[in-house]
Structure 1
Amino acid sequence: MKFKSTFIILLVTAIFLSCEEDVSFDFEHEPRLCLNCILNPDSAVITASLSLSKMLDTINEIKTVNDAEILLYEEENLLGRFSHAGNGKFKLNKVPVSGKTYRITVDSEEYGKISASTIVPNKPEITWSKDTVGYDQYNLLRYNLNVQIHDKQGKNNYWLFSTAISRGIKGGGGGGVVLNAPFADTFNRRYEIEEKYGFMHYYQIRLSDEGYDGQILDFIIPDLVPANEYRAKHILNASEHYDKYIKTSILYKLNEESDLPFNEPVQIYSNIENGFGIFGACSISTIVL
């Protein structure tokens, strides 16, 4: 019994002493190239941005890189060389094609070489319709939006997001979205008792065709109110790498906004060899409300 008492006293003392000890870590960060480039068959201009990585706890501005050579290959053939557009931006006037594989290479005399590959996914095939459900408190018409994604064979990574023009300013991708569907990913779902289904998805909704491959993904976006300015819903089909990048980026944002002090750190996904960033692709179908 005496041994137990002595052990407890020593243990408590050790805990308090360890809490008072200052521990510092000295991490050296070697800047590496950070590339961001997303291919989209609906765009006639491909844009790439190039900068240097920095430590998360530093407040200095991001340093852009302007002296690199950036090449894009379609399958095994050189498609073109990006031209410098200033402030770390590079542009190439080419249109990527769905189903083809692309590889990008970056060569900087000062910071070395990086590269990455991606496959451009097919444009989502969708149908949609509206069902009037009544009027809101301001006597504005409310309706449900019925959407069907006609999934093609093979893995597809769909994302649902919104854009709108308010007072002449276009924005989107933020806020919350209400959707109740078995194929909706729940990673960014938060319980909100005042919402229609008792929960909400923040920023975007990821729709997986896992278990629904080659089928119709049928769902309803409820209680929409038309606006005088532009509003739209978008179904984005993301390449494998871009899909992971979007998901981890949303997790990172949710982590930053959370009040919980012990959230697990989130590492934003990157597919850049010898560097950081994302080289991905997407195809988008749009529903103008």
Structure 2
Amino acid sequence: MKQKYHIYIFLLLTISVSSCYKEIDLDKYRTPPKIVINSAVSPDNVIIASVTRTWFYPESTPYVKLPHAKVELYINDEYIEQMTWEQYDKDDTSSKTPDSVFVSHVTPKAQDRIKIVASAEGYETAIAEETIPNGVLILKTSYNNITKRPNPDVTYIGPDGNIVEQFIYEIEYDITFQDESETSNFYALTILRKKSYSWGDSFYQNELQSTDPVLSENTNILDGAMGFDGLDTHSFLFTDKQIAGQKYTLNLKEICNENPDNSTISIYFYSLSQSYYQYILSIQKISGSTLEGALGNLGFGEPIRIYSNVEGGSGILGTCNISTKKMTIHYNESSTQ
């Protein structure tokens, strides 16, 4: 991380040498607000969409909800209904402007073409359209090895005042699936762990690592070389461009900070629409620790733009299909499984 720090200092010094001050009238750059549609659609739920508006930076506390918008739903080019504005969490009374969404009464299915048309007085009509991909089943899962090693980054002092050694547990997984050959496919993979205690259940996501060429296709070798951590470490985004039409076994490793014995993992395998994949990837590049994102933020590279498939507005209509597999982990000091 020290190398990464020095890179930032060098870039900031470079900017300061050539900087000058100029008063900028931001209102001169103000553009008319646009409708924003954000919706993630799958066959697991009714179709829900957040419909808001864009806002300009000088607005300190903007109200961006559009409860009186007209939001129309089409499936396979057939008009279905006008979606209804509702408070997202009806039990939430903590906010004067609670989260709100537009809700339909329809649960879609794979290969349905979803279209949402949002209009409101004073705004250009926004249209988003996307097809729900087929689901891809997880055929087989296994964990092959659990490695225990000291954790030098965590120090715990016991009741007696002595240091209690902490450990890291590395669990290797194999996950097998069959890719469809007819189309280009886009995927995401993540793992949710559940551990039961006397006081209840705890759910959390650990860091995931992999050298699998399929899972590593979005990894930029320059990130590690230049001291950056890369994209989100709790999930993988990947495509089938290396394995089109094949049965393939993904190999990855989960990093746990506590003994995983008798914990249950849920493996979530997402089939994503191309637009949803590109949207998530652009978000990860901006929010993650990447050289590309750092250079863009500092003005030394092309800024990363959040991907949108909304015509006449902004946001994303993403579609996905989810396959889930659960597995219980058994581990003790004398056995790896």
1:238 to 257, 272, 276: 272
- 2:22 aligned residue: 22
Give runs of aligned pairs for residues 1-289 of structure 1, distance below 5 A.
19-20=19-20, 22=22, 24=24, 26=26, 27-43=29-45, 45-55=46-56, 59-61=60-62, 63-86=64-87, 87-134=99-146, 136=148, 143-153=171-181, 154-165=183-194, 170=203, 172=205, 176-184=207-215, 185-187=217-219, 190-191=223-224, 202-222=233-253, 226=260, 231-254=265-288, 261-262=298-299, 264=301, 265-289=303-327
Contact 1:125 1:151 in 2 (8 A): no
Contact 1:38 1:280 in 2 (8 A): yes
Gaps of 5+ in 2: 1-15, 88-98, 150-165, 328-337
Contact 1:132 1:141 in 2 (8 A): no
SS of the aligned residue for 2:251 comes to strand
In 1, the alpha carbon distance for the partners of 2:287 and 2:115 equals 29
- Identity in percent: 19
SS of the aligned residue for 1:202 comes to coil
In 1, the alpha carbon distance for the partners of 2:65 and 2:143 equals 49
Whichever residue aligns with residue 78 of structure 2, its letter is N
Contact 1:149 1:217 in 2 (8 A): yes
Cα deviation, residue 252, structure 1: 1.5
Deviation by residue 1:218-252 (Cα, 9 ceiling, x = unmatched) = 22123566365653221111111111111111112
Whichever residue aligns with residue 272 of structure 2, its letter is A
Whichever residue aligns with residue 189 of structure 2, its letter is L
- 2:333 aligned residue: none
Deviation by residue 1:65-86 (Cα, 9 ceiling, x = unmatched) = 1001211111121223211113
Cα deviation, residue 287, structure 1: 2.3
Cα deviation, residue 98, structure 1: 0.7
Alignment coverage as a number of residue pairs: 266
- 2:334 aligned residue: none
- TM-score of the pair, normalised by structure 1: 0.78
Moved more, 56-65 or 263-272: 56-65
SS of the aligned residue for 2:64 comes to coil
Summarize the Cα distance change of 1:282–1:223 in structure 2 as closer, same or farther, 3 Å threshold.
closer
Contact 2:212 2:252 in 1 (8 A): no
- TM-score of the pair, normalised by structure 2: 0.68
Alpha carbon RMSD of aligned pairs, Å? 3.4
Gaps of 5+ in 1: 1-15, 193-197
Whichever residue aligns with residue 187 of structure 2, its letter is Y
SS of the aligned residue for 1:244 comes to helix
In 2, the alpha carbon distance for the partners of 1:143 and 1:155 equals 31
SS of the aligned residue for 1:242 comes to helix
